[in-house]
Amino acid sequence: MNQIDLKSVADNPNQPLLQVIIVYGPWWCHHSALRLVYPDRPVLFWDPGGSYGEFHAEDIRSKDLIRINPPDLEAYLQFTWNYSSIEVEVFEWDLTLEHARELYDILLQGTDKNHPAGKFSTTTMGGFCSITLSNFLHRFATKTMIVPKSYLCPHNLARVLYTQSPKHVLTFRRGKQILYIPPQRASDNIRTAPISE
């Protein structure tokens, strides 16, 4: 495990990237969100049933997608620290261009009942973030991971994600930042963050 230099884990605009974010409070996990980086398009930040951007002067949310100035990890961490959050886990997977484009289009446009995986929309009621996000991964992210069902609690989704060969997991606790590379990936030729403050 290494300390995380946020600059070293900044998005590479040429590499499609999927990030699943799990946010923990002092007694329970309380939110999950998703970031998708696709070359030559704005980053998609999906905050299902969340509150990011609700207090901005302009309306930056549309169907729970942050459409204007989507946050990078540093901005989202600052937002979570303003609440009772004590820890944030960020699971990351590199994607192929084709799969990233599929996920991007599904998040942006939704699907109808004629889609092979059925109807989908990013709009989510508060309290159902993990159910909706895990359902999305279960139905549409099968080229990257196997999420066997929907999960009510974000920490249950996180348990599954640890088994799905993420490139690495970034763990942010107040005052502490840790980079975790799952054992099955440690010997792979993957980018790791240098130890830095």
pLDDT tens digit sequence for 25-68: 887 778 999 999 999 999 999 999 999 988 876 788 999 999 89
The residues, any chain, with a CB within 8 Å of residue 11's CB and separated by 6 or more, are 17, 37, 43, 72
Helices assigned H by DSSP within the chain: 73-81, 97-109, 129-140, 154-162, 183-186
Q: State how far the Cα of 40 lies from the Cα of 99, in Å rounded to an integer.
A: 15
Model confidence at 176, pLDDT cuts 50, 70, 90, reads: confident
pLDDT in tens, 5-34: 677 678 888 999 999 999 998 877 789 999
Kindly give, in sequence order, each residue whose CB lies less than 8 Å from that of residue 26, ignoring residues fewer than 6 positions away: 84, 86
- With bands split at pLDDT 50, 70 and 90, how would you rate the model's confidence at 107? very high
Rounded mean pLDDT, 109-125:
94
